Structure 1
Amino acid sequence: MRIEGRDLIDLVLSWSLEEVLNVDLYKGQVGTIPTEFDSTTDYFKSFIPSLIEETHAALSSSIKTLWRSPVVEITYIAPTAEFELPNNLFYKVHLSTDESSLIPKDLIALTDKRPNRVDGFNITNEPYVVAIVCKADPDRPNVITILASKPLLLEDVHQRNKKEKKESLFGVYMTNITTNVRIWNSLHLGLQGGNLSLLSTVLQRNTDDDGVCVPCRFGESDGLVPSRFLNLNPSQEDAILSYEKQLPAMVESQIALEAGFGRSLFERLAILKHKKYLLNIQYRMHRSISIFPNREFYGMQIQDAPTVKQRNYTKQYLPGKMYGPYSFINIAHGEEQYGEGRSLKNNVEVAVVSDIIANLLQVSVRTKTRISVGVISPYKSQVMAIQEKIQETCSGCDAGGLFSLKIRSVDGFQGGEEDIIIVSTVRSNGIGRVGFLANRQRTNVLLTRARFCLWILGNEATMVNSKSVWRYLIQDARKRECFYNAEEDESLARAIIDTAKIEFIQPLNKSRWKICFSDEFKKSVGEIKNPEMYRKIKSFLERISHGWLHEEEESERDSLVSSSQLIKQSKIDDVLSLIWAVEILKEEFQYIQVLKIWDVVPSSDVPEAVKSLNLNHMKYTVDEVEKCRARCISGDIVVPLRWSLEATNGNGNGNSDVMEETLGSLNLAGEMMTSEQPNDSLEDEKEEEDIEVDRLSHLLSSITL
């Protein structure tokens, strides 16, 4: 079986775990890439050490986060016809799912222990074999071919499967090296010769006024093959390179970065004094879209081409001014939260994006209109969340190939364009913390991908307080009357409310108390139409579920109207109050304290509601009441207690039993779980370099519905 970049792949598969984890493995072996070269051979050879180091760094980084990586179950594995010791260790693999999340050039760790999201997966303590996905069967998505780094003891695996009647081999995603392999091939094709006449003109310092047109986004090694990036006709060879306002190449290895591996050909030619020209006419964006980036990033030096000024360039895909050529849609009640790893997501924005996409899809189906849509977000978790939501809501629709959708990170969309671009900014904290959204190059890419319509979703308060380019964007949108609140659209308002209801039953991270909801509470909450009220109620529940009960109980002590003093009332705002209590729940062989949320009612209705609940609590025995009223303080918080049934039955008061802390979560099913939040700064989060290395992005990166 022929595999592209086989030399690089063999090198990667040869690394031992100790070598992979050694960040200094290639230190001292990676030389600085010069700015001038004596020959094309020297030019191509100069990038190879840095490429190897960058590939090593990517694999090393992935191993440290295997605990949160996607996992596939393997139901069958056997050598292929091409299998041959010692190097051609090809295996055909059947996965348990109908749709594989693995694509060619994915590196995976084969192990007989399923990684656990809570306990983690320490690869240093578990047996594993690294393999690379060589190909996937287009007719059977769950069948792939892999090349393993070591022979597999398949007899033991199959015997164990047969005996235990369950899967016992798993594939853990590590990283994808498609881009690395492509660069490797480019370097070696260059070394083998070819038409390199144009490339020879950019090896050294410029001696005349001619310019060369090249892309500035990529690291120079990305554009090494003239036929790919430098295949220009004679009239183009005196044109300028592009401009510096776009994103630089992503380089993970500090060693490779210091060697100049991320430097673009544009940057190098600028250093060598090649003449630069500004491409000052834009042919892509509707003029309403180009106004802000032109003024903010280019000092109004860019002119709109005549074609984008014509009346037929204005498209109205959905009804309402909100869906004109350019708009900022304020998501006032969103919440940024951790998704995968240190990446953020915002479920309210996910719901809004999904609703807009569903409406656009209906328009395309009904009117037989061809529409291309792109969704861009700076956070990988948001990209994945949107992909999953769209797949859930739109997978059954068929627009006959007229509707296309791409969902990508900012870096993945560089150089791309679509009819409609929807931007999900994610950040919603009110204090102005926007992370790498403040990067002007990243913002420039976000704002310049659309042809006809650009709709930006974000939280106004966060953006205005950020003291970044986003503050000026909000001011500009308001001045031009392009600012809208999402609730102004009935469909979006419903989507936001539905999301708030769903998030109500999601587990809370680090919760110490289990929370149970009464039917009355669920009915009352379902009638609330204000997303802000949902936020306030959830904020209160988060507080008490984390153990901050004593402050609430102290503040409400004088206003208790419960004869048993078990029922509590807490004001949510000037109108509504929450009625709750500490109750006991029988679980297997123990009693455990839980938080019971009885109802949310107008404050004036609290006495009547509590009166009816008192009748319910009159059935409690003295011992049960005492257990409900017992409190255990641990530091600044109250922790739930539990008693064994045996100790309680043997002693009427049950006080002799040791009371222990339990961990719980906010959910209706009463499942116990814990979850740790990363402590790392959000500023450290890395963007994905391209869609082909962005996890799971291939599922919906370019679908035709």
Structure 2
Amino acid sequence: MTASTHNAVDNVLERFVVENAREHLLTDDQIIRAATESSRVNKALQKYTVDARLGGSLNDDPRLLQKAEKRMKEARIVFTTCTGAGLGIIRKTNFGIVLIDEASQITEPAAMIPLVKECHTAVMVGDHVQLRPTVRPMGKALEFDRSLFERLYTGPEYRLLSRTMLKTQYRFSEAIARFPSTEFYEGQLETGAQLDDEIASLALTLFPWPTDDKGRIFPVTFVPCTSEEDYGRSSKSNVGQVNLVMHIIHLLRTLSDTHQESQEFTIDELKKKLRQTSIAILTPYSRQVKLLTENIKLNENTVVSTIDGFQGREADIVVFTTVRSNMDGDLGFLDDARRLNVAWTRPKLGLVIVGDKRTLGTNSLWKRAIDACREVVIERPVEETVASK
């Protein structure tokens, strides 16, 4: 079982361990986490590494090699990165079955490493309309960022190749799914999540979530902000949007006056529920991440990240600060439809997009995205304003 990064591999191993404990599929000795450096492995999972199995490191004691090779032969499943499949103790080990997770984020040469080790069955899992592998500008010009997964999924038919779309998603509601389904998945994306009660709980906050014609919370909103972006830097920021996002977070974390009294829950219980709601503040630009981090109080339930860094993760609510606001209608990174798709599909319950409608509207996809939202105008208090650093 492979993926592009150690974190991605550990995420799958962590879930497999839980499933294995419930179903009793394999013994612990039959599960190996291979890494040339055990320190790169999540501490909770280091007991599955070869070093832990041997009680020592191959780097320090080459005499353990035979024992390590024996352990590998006894293993039924090995977890490692794609490049790790060609390194260390498993360099000469062949695998009949190869699984590659997040395959659309892996360059084709990296994906080939586990596949050329006498593999007779391969399963690649990914999303070819989300972000591609990160490569240097020259590599992008040569389409080096196009993954093997994307090439096989969108290319011609091959004998013994089958392509399957898992159409049902269980993360977010149909209201959130509607736009990405239409724009990116040919209208085929179906929703299996039943989140009506959780979405209704958004009304507990001071944030003025709009409602549909049946009085239900509509969880996809656009908050206009005409504050201009900064100029003269390769990575952009927007102080006005930071100020507005700060106020939005305050609203999302504050109990509405109409819910101060409840027959079901005490005020303390309702406030605790708000604190436990996870919020991710996403933006295309690392400079905006820095400015947000300097001015917003973060904890385990409130995080700030670039869109690229948050792919594969989720939060109850996503606040997406788009940054770009200029006279030329220049969108920069925002012009990448994949980035919009990733940001839109991270929230479980609610999405709040903050941006300049005039600048975003110069792009036809973004114009349709704004039209798919309900607009909410929010005035931020002067006392919450911060200065750029």
**TM class, shorter-chain normalised?**
0.5 to 0.7
Which residue identity does 1:336 align to in structure 2? E
The structure 2 residue matched to 1:266, chosen from 149, 153, 156, is: 149
Q: How far apart, in 2, do the equivalents of 1:454 and 1:329 lie?
A: 11
Q: How far apart, in 2, do the equivalents of 1:454 and 1:356 lie?
A: 12
SS of 1:486 mapped into structure 2: coil
Determine the structure 1 residue equivalent to 2:293. Answer: 387
Q: Do the aligned partners of residues 193 and 263 (structure 1) sit closer, same or farther apart at CA in structure 2, a change above 3 Å counting?
A: farther
Q: Does 1:308 align with 2:204?
A: no
Determine the structure 2 residue equivalent to 1:276. Answer: 163
The structure 2 residue matched to 1:467, chosen from 359, 363, 369, is: 363
Q: How far apart, in 2, do the equivalents of 1:426 and 1:433 lie?
A: 11
Determine the structure 1 residue equivalent to 2:176. Answer: 289
Which residue identity does 1:252 align to in structure 2? R
Determine the structure 2 residue equivalent to 1:348. Answer: 240
Determine the structure 2 residue equivalent to 1:484. Answer: 376
Q: Do the aligned partners of residues 214 and 375 (structure 1) sit closer, same or farther apart at CA in structure 2, a change above 3 Å counting?
A: closer
Q: How far apart, in 2, do the equivalents of 1:377 and 1:266 lie?
A: 27
Displacement, 1:185? 4.2
The structure 1 residue matched to 2:224, chosen from 298, 314, 330, is: 330
Q: Do the aligned partners of residues 215 and 183 (structure 1) sit closer, same or farther apart at CA in structure 2, a change above 3 Å counting?
A: closer
Q: How far apart, in 2, do the equivalents of 1:223 and 1:366 lie?
A: 47
Determine the structure 1 residue equivalent to 2:96. Answer: 197
Residues 199-222 of structure 1, C-alpha deviation per residue, up to 9 Å, x if partnerless? 3xx9xxxxxxxxx87631232466
Mapping for residues 218-233 of structure 1, pairs under 5 Å: 218-220=106-108
Which residue identity does 2:103 align to in structure 1? P
Q: Do the aligned partners of residues 437 and 279 (structure 1) sit closer, same or farther apart at CA in structure 2, a change above 3 Å counting?
A: same
**Structure-2-length-normalised TM-score:** 0.62
Residues 388-432 of structure 1, C-alpha deviation per residue, up to 9 Å, x if partnerless? 111xxx26xxxxx8x512211111111111111110000112542
8 Å Cα contact 1:344-1:382 kept in structure 2: yes
Q: How far apart, in 1, do the equivalents of 2:354 and 2:241 lie?
A: 7
Higher relative contact order (CA 8 A, sep 6+): 2
8 Å Cα contact 1:280-1:303 kept in structure 2: yes
SS of 2:230 mapped into structure 1: strand
The structure 2 residue matched to 1:243, chosen from 127, 135, 155, is: 127
8 Å Cα contact 2:173-2:349 kept in structure 1: yes
Determine the structure 2 residue equivalent to 1:188. Answer: 87
**How many residue pairs are counted as aligned between the two chains?**
281
Which residue identity does 1:421 align to in structure 2? V
Q: Do the aligned partners of residues 262 and 356 (structure 1) sit closer, same or farther apart at CA in structure 2, a change above 3 Å counting?
A: same
Residues 668-701 of structure 1, C-alpha deviation per residue, up to 9 Å, x if partnerless? xxxxxxxxxxxxxxxxxxxxxxxxxxxxxxxxxx
8 Å Cα contact 1:375-1:422 kept in structure 2: yes
Displacement, 1:359? 4.3
Q: How far apart, in 2, do the equivalents of 1:375 and 1:452 lie?
A: 14
Which residue identity does 1:343 align to in structure 2? S
Q: Do the aligned partners of residues 286 and 185 (structure 1) sit closer, same or farther apart at CA in structure 2, a change above 3 Å counting?
A: same
8 Å Cα contact 2:104-2:128 kept in structure 1: yes
Q: Cα RMSD (Å) of the superposition?
A: 3.6
Larger Rg: 1
8 Å Cα contact 1:375-1:408 kept in structure 2: yes
More strand by share: 1
8 Å Cα contact 2:139-2:145 kept in structure 1: no
Displacement, 1:438? 1.8
Determine the structure 1 residue equivalent to 2:332. Answer: 435
Which residue identity does 1:348 align to in structure 2? G
Displacement, 1:224? 7.1
| Structure 1 unmatched ranges of 5 or more | 1-103, 106-181, 203-211, 227-236, 396-400, 488-492, 508-705
Determine the structure 1 residue equivalent to 2:17. Answer: none
Q: Do the aligned partners of residues 483 and 368 (structure 1) sit closer, same or farther apart at CA in structure 2, a change above 3 Å counting?
A: same
Q: How far apart, in 2, do the equivalents of 1:184 and 1:215 lie?
A: 13
SS of 2:209 mapped into structure 1: helix
Q: Does 1:368 align with 2:272?
A: yes
| Structure 2 unmatched ranges of 5 or more | 1-38, 41-80, 115-120, 211-216, 256-267
Q: How far apart, in 2, do the equivalents of 1:299 and 1:268 lie?
A: 18
Displacement, 1:285? 1.1
The structure 1 residue matched to 2:104, chosen from 204, 211, 216, is: 216
Percent identical: 28
Displacement, 1:309? 5.4
**Structure-1-length-normalised TM-score:** 0.36
8 Å Cα contact 1:190-1:225 kept in structure 2: no
Determine the structure 1 residue equivalent to 2:249. Answer: 357
Mapping for residues 540-619 of structure 1, pairs under 5 Å: none
Q: Do the aligned partners of residues 265 and 238 (structure 1) sit closer, same or farther apart at CA in structure 2, a change above 3 Å counting?
A: closer
Q: Does 1:444 align with 2:341?
A: yes
Q: How far apart, in 1, do the equivalents of 2:197 and 2:123 lie?
A: 31
Displacement, 1:433? 2.0
